[in-house]
Amino acid sequence: MAKNKFNQNWLHDHINDPYVKLAQREGYRARAVYKLKEIDEAEKLIKPGQIIVDLGATPGSWSQYVRNKLAGKAGGGILGEIFALDMLPMEPIADVQFLLGDFREQEILDLLETRLLGRKVDLVLSDMAPNLSGIPTADAARMEDIIELAIEFSKAHLKPTGSLLVKCFHGPAYNTVWDRFKSEFKVVSSKKPKASRDKSSEIFILGRGLK
């Protein structure tokens, strides 16, 4: 019964959420797009001509936003390149190169590296989160593991001046993740966008410039 009530409450909040309505109106696949938009507008992360990787991209709202920011090539198309990776299928997005698979697998990394043709990346985005179990220590360990993978990926593929933006949660792993970012990036900051629900412990960490 409690679960049904929770589902009903979530559905009510979701349907009445202004960001859900805005996403529907503007043609974005998820409200999460407005978290990236707010961070990008404050930090000026996304610029034409960049190579950008979106880890855990499905359903694709972040890739949609990036694509819109890179649009403007004469005759259509984009200035730059976007690579989106996920283990779950994603509906195609114009000018976004989607790779279906787990970026922890060498096969997918090899495929990405073939497409990059030796070039380094300007920006790595990760809105990934584990399926939460409700056990704080276990969830924190899983979140830490995902962020560690994103950091290792960035160390291998980012330009020295590149940036990494990841989703994190306030909780047992936060300080460890923060310290890990400080050890790898010259400038580190945390962001809590307005589109991030008040009751959510979600927070984003941005690292700029590899050490």
Say whether 102 counts as a known binding-site residue: yes
Catalytic (active site) residue 167: yes
Instruction: Map tokens 């990934």 to a residue.
Output: 128
Say whether 86 counts as a known binding-site residue: yes
Say whether 10 counts as a known binding-site residue: no
Q: Which of 47, 167, 182, 211 is catalytic?
A: 167
Say whether 60 counts as a known binding-site residue: yes
Q: What is the dihedral of CA 91, 34, 104, 163, to 10 degrees?
A: 130
Say whether 54 counts as a known binding-site residue: no
What are the binding residues for S-adenosyl-L-methionine?
60, 62, 86, 102, 127
What are the binding residues?
60, 62, 86, 102, 127
Which residues are catalytically annotated?
A: 167
